[in-house]
Structure formats: structure tokens, C-alpha cells
Amino acid sequence: MLKIKKLYLFMLSRFLPRFLMTFCICLFIVIMQFLWKYIDELVGKGLSVDVIAELFFYAALSMVPLALPLSILLAALMTFGDLGEHIELTALKSSGISLTTIMKPLAVLMTLVAIGAFFFQDIVLPHSQVKMWTLMFSMRQTSPTLDIPEGAVYSQIPGYNIYVKRKDKDRDMLYNMLIYDVSQGSMFPRIVAADSGRLSMTEDKRHLVLTLYKGSWYEEMKGGGGVSGMSNELYRRESFHDKEILIPYDANFTRMDDDAMKSQYVGKNITQLQHTIDSVRIRVDSAASVIIEKMRTQPVCGVPPFRTMVNEGKTTLQPTGEVQLDKPIDLDQLIKDLPSAEQQQLVNQALMRTTTAMQDTQFQGYAINDDNFIIRRHQIELMKKFTLSLACLIFFFIGAPLGAIIRKGGLGMPIVISVILFIFYYMIDNSGYKLARDGRWPVWQGIWLSSAVLLPLGIFLTHKAVNDSAVFNPDAWLNILRRFTGLHQTRKLEAKEVIINEVDNATAIAMAQSLKANCLQFLDSHPGRQRYLDYCRQGYDKAAIKSLAEQVDSVVDYLSNSRDQMVLNKAMDFPVIRQLLTYSPSSGNQKLGTALAVLFPIGLPLWLVGMRHQKNLKRDIGLTAKTCDQLIAIVNDEYDREMEYMENKE
């Protein structure tokens, strides 16, 4: 009997409800997007509820490839983010369970989902898309329900424009009607004006019955030869008390046949798509061979390039070879010797033959381009049946480690991150699809572009999460930013409740005096601003700066064990000696520094930035020496706060 570990059951019980919930939410969102896109084609057609429900059912099945990856990403983010937020992930890791073991049951589940998505794409999706698009085209051809507005021209009846000034809904009457009939063509319109009327429909819903009262009829008619001196234009005018007009208008919903959509690429499975690709490719190759063969057999200056040879009942083409002439022929002189009429005739014949050949070749090229487009569309549909399965796995291995890193559950942060990643994925996927569809890229490059971009991201995040790397630690990124930009850093110390190594005043004074002496020595060795060439070739000694920074940190670490709050406050006044790359851009390499100095567009801006950073460095070192004096005064109980205030004010 198969026994599942409790850990696996726990992870499945946490993931599955979120996955089902997010899948339903994502599917609902994409269906609403589909509804808003085609709302104009559905409203006002008098469609029954069962037809609309059937359309939405097939639309939901067709939207699964769009909703499934997003729901997997969101569910994985929520699950592992919630585990991290409630310290459950930390508890599992502290028990010796690695993140890969925690992810194992969900990875197996996602593999099964990916396999199911492949068979769904190959079996269910073609049938659902055929049904959906058949219903959509059938609805587009269905006539809208009649709702003639007041004071506006109604043009939804084919061939008729109707204007009604006022309506009486209780009596179902229309008043002050004006009808413009162009069903026979706009050159011979019929205009009908009536005091009132009523609009109804026949029982079979294939004709409208327009009953008019007290009006007139004006109609222009075709000319009939006429009499000499009289106009051929005829018209007819009629006044009536009541009149009925029968207008063809099919208001029934007629479902189209599915066979038309089954022949399209959206209605084919892998076997059918591959068969169509092979068939069309054979047709393209044969058409190209015909064009090439026709160009090869085209006569040159009236001499055919091949001769037909019959040998033992077999017909073969052999090259004509080079034609030997007794003497060179001057074609220009031959043409000039002809009469002008024959010259013009010769030019016209050559131009006609060239134009005919060019048009024939262009026509055949258009046919080949159409066939290549058909091949690309079928190849795209074929590869998309595989990309969905890979996208499900990629989004899981992005969402799960990302949730373990950010450790935020619920619907807030996971939704924001999921939407950003999915928009990024959708933009790349759509761009690759258009490049492949238009033939600018090979089909496999365009369709697999999104997977190729997101797969390294999934591997990177999984690696960082397994190794507990602080990818989203703001302090780590801020330290890197400070190193490159020179942003100022501050120290924060708090009084310790338990102190093991007490601070010795004599030791603290000795450390402060040694630090002050090293600071003053560094300032004396760098009295002014470095020249451009000296900066590029040498700069400041990074080893000396690093030694000063380490000495400052050791003094601060030692003073952090003090029980005196004034000592702690003064220890926080020690500036952070930063290790910036701009202190010495060439790191003492003379050749590199000389090359950098020669490249003025790079070296000059770097020198300006470096001078600012060196100035700030000397300011921090000077402040360090001054803080050492104040610290010594505090330890010796000789500190004058008013004197410090006056110095800072100056």
C-alpha cells in the first residue's frame, strides 16, 4: 500500500485550495476580458440564455492556457509566502528538511498538471475553439433586435434608414416617420413619409411588416428610352391612407456548420497540424521548383538553353552550350538599322514580355508567401501545445522560491508580484508570437522566447532560495548601491542588557589615540586635491583606507560594550569609512591608469566624481580624529558639551 508522508499531505493541503481558488479567479478575469472585447457583438441580438451559456463555457475552456500559468504562479507565491510569514518554513528547515524536499510533492503535482495541460491543448482545446468561434461567427451574422429610438436615424435594418420623432409604447405606435429605402441601390432610392405606423414581425421571424398610415411615397425609377426632346428620368409619387411594406429581416439565430472552423489551425491536433504543414510545404517546394525550372528553360536572345534529346525512348534535356558566331554581332547597330516603326514594335514586344514574366513571377510569389504564412500559423499552433506545459513548470519554480524569499502571504504582495511577472511574460510571449507570425524570426525562436527568458529566472530564484540567499534583503542591495554611489551611512548602537567584556577606560583611550594618529597621518600624506594624471595612475591607497575602516570598526565594537550612554552616543558619531571604487580607479596599475587618462570622455567625468568622493573621505577621516578627542574627554570626565556645540556651530 502506498503511504504518503505527512509533510507531503501537509503541503498538498496548503497548496491545492489556493490553486483552485486562484485558477477560478484568473479564469473569471480572462473571461470578463473576453466579454468586454466582444460585448458589442453579443448585446441586442435577442440570443437565448442557453446559447450565451454555451459560448461562455467554450470560451472558458479556450482561456485555460492563459489562466493556468498565472494561477500556478499566484498559488505558489501565496503558499510559500504564507509558510514563511508564519515561521512554518523556518521550523521545517530547522528540523533538517530542505526546501527541495518541501517543494517535492508540489513539483510532482505540477508535473502531472503540465502533462494534463499538454493533452488538454491537443484534445480538448481544438474542439472548444471550433465551437467557440463557430458560435461567435453565427452571432455576428444574427440580426439585432429591433429597438428604434426616438429622434434618431435607425440603420440596423439592411437597406433601410428609419427616423421616428415620437413613440407610444403603450399602443405600440410610431409617429412622424420618415423611411429612406436604398435596398434597390442608392441611385434609385425610395422615400416614404407617414403620419404614424406600426412595426411587427411575421411568425417565422424572417420578415418585418411595416404598417403605415396617412403618408406619401416618392420613388425614382430607371429611364425607359423616352420621347425625343423629353427627359429619360422617371419617378413615381403616391399618396396613401394605409399601406403595408414587407421587409426581409431574418431575426432567427442560425448556427453555422463546424466544418469551416475544423479546417483552420485552431481546430487541429498535433497530427493534423503536422500533416497540413507537410502538405503545404510540398506544395511550396513544387511551386518553387516550377519557377526555377521555367527560368532555366527561358530562351536567351531567342536561343533555348537546353535541347531536347531522345535516346532509346527516353527524353532528356541537355545544355545547348556556347553558340559559336562567325563574327561578333553589334546588336545596337542592328536595331538602329531597322525602321523606326519596327524599332518601336521591338521595344513594345520586349516590354510586354518582361512585364508578363514579372507579373507571373509576382503572382506565383504571392501564392508561395500565402502558403508560407499558413505553414507558420500551423507551426505556431503546434509549438504552443508544448509551451503551456513548460510555462506551468517555470511559473511554479518562480513562484515557490520567490514566496519562500519574500515571506509574505495573503493576497496583497503575491498578487502585485504575480501581475508584474505575468505582464512581463505576456509582453515577451506576444512579441515573440508576432515576430514568428510575420516571418521575421524563425517560428521556434519566437514561440520559445518567453520560456527561454523566464527559465533562467526560475533557476536563479530556486538556487537562491535553497541556499537561503538574501536576494530581497534591502540592506544588502543598499550597501552595494552605497559602494558605487558613495551614499552616506550612519551607525546605530543600543545599550546591551548583558555585557560579558567590560570596557576598560585605559584601553579605550589607547585605541582612540592610535586611531587619531593614523587618521592625522593619512590626512598629512594627502594634503590637497590630486591632479588628473596622478588620480588616474595612482589615486588613494586602498589598503590604507581599508586599514583605517577596520580600525574604526574595532573601536566602535569595543565601545559598544560600555554601560555609559554618553560613550555609546559618541561611538555612533564615528563615520563609516567607505570602500569606494572611485578612490583609485586603476588600483595602482600604471598602464591602465595612463590609458584611462588618455580616454578623456571616460577619465574626466570619473576624475570629477573621484575628487568629490576623496573630499568626503578626508572629511570623514578628519571627523574621526575629532571624535577620538571627544571620546577621550568623555572617558577622562573632561568633556564640555557646550564647547562641542560651539565647535559644531562654527
DSSP H or E run through 444 = helix 443-447
Q: What is the pLDDT of residue 27?
A: 92
Helix axes 449-466, 413-437, angle to 10 degrees: 150
Nearest to 122 by CA among 375, 426, 383: 383
Q: Is 165 helix (H, G, I), strand (E, B) or coil?
A: strand
CA 591 to each of CA 336, 351, 537, 581, 601: distance values in angstroms, whole numbers, following the listed order: 74, 69, 8, 18, 18
> Which segments of 564-599 does DSSP mark as H helices, in order?
565-571, 590-598
Is the pLDDT at 472 greater than 70? The verdict is: no
How confident is the model over 378-433, as pLDDT tens digits? 999 999 999 999 999 999 999 998 888 888 777 777 788 888 888 888 899 889 99
Is the pLDDT at 347 greater than 90? The verdict is: no
State residue 239 phi and psi, 5-degree precision.
-110, 140
- Contact indicator for 42, 374 with CB cutoff of 8 Å: no
Neighbours of 382 (CB within 10 A): 21
Provide the whole-model pTM: 0.62
Is the pLDDT at 253 greater than 70? The verdict is: no
How confident is the model over 159-194, as pLDDT tens digits? 788 888 888 877 778 898 898 887 776 666 788 899
Q: What is the 3-state secondary structure (H, E, C) of 348-371?
A: HHHHHHHHHHHHHHHHHHHHHHHH
Q: How confident is the model at residue 228 (pLDDT cuts 50, 70, 90)?
A: very low
> Which segments of 407-441 does DSSP mark as H helices, in order?
413-437
Q: What is the pLDDT of residue 226?
A: 45
Q: What is the pLDDT of residue 471?
A: 60
Is the pLDDT at 248 greater than 90? The verdict is: no
Range of weakest confidence among 134-148, 168-182, 599-613: 134-148
For the ranges 463-477, 539-553, 588-602, the one whose mean pLDDT is highest:
539-553
Residue that the C-alpha cell 509576382 belongs to = 362
Q: What is the pLDDT of residue 356?
A: 81
Is the pLDDT at 531 greater than 90? The verdict is: no
How many whole angstroms separate alpha carbon 145 and alpha carbon 263?
32
Q: What is the pLDDT of residue 532?
A: 83
* pLDDT > 90 in the chain, percent: 17
The distance from CA 465 to its chain's CA centroid, rounded to whole angstroms, is 26
How many whole angstroms separate alpha carbon 247 and alpha carbon 37?
32
DSSP H or E run through 163 = strand 160-168
Mean residue pLDDT of the chain comes to 81
How confident is the model over 52-75, as pLDDT tens digits? 888 889 999 999 998 999 999 999
Is the pLDDT at 3 greater than 60? The verdict is: no
How confident is the model over 298-332, as pLDDT tens digits? 666 666 666 667 777 677 766 666 666 677 777 77
Q: What is the pLDDT of residue 386?
A: 92
Q: What is the pLDDT of residue 642?
A: 53
- Contact indicator for 307, 316 with CB cutoff of 8 Å: no
Mean pLDDT for the stretch of residues 484-507: 73
Is the pLDDT at 359 greater than 60? The verdict is: yes
Range of weakest confidence among 57-66, 457-466, 585-594: 585-594
Is the pLDDT higher at 548 or at 338? 548
Residue 269's contacts (CB-CB under 8 Å, 6 or more residues apart) are: 122, 123, 126
Q: What is the pLDDT of residue 390?
A: 93
Nearest to 72 by CA among 122, 117, 8: 117
How many whole angstroms separate alpha carbon 601 and alpha carbon 350?
61
Mean pLDDT for the stretch of residues 521-537: 85
Q: Which amino acid is at 539?
A: G
Helix, strand, coil share (%) of the chain residues, nearest 5: 60, 10, 25
Is the pLDDT at 641 greater than 80? The verdict is: no
Per-domain residue ranges for the chain? 6-141+381-466, 152-224+231-248, 478-649
Is the pLDDT at 270 greater than 80? The verdict is: yes
How confident is the model over 546-568, as pLDDT tens digits? 888 899 889 888 888 888 888 88
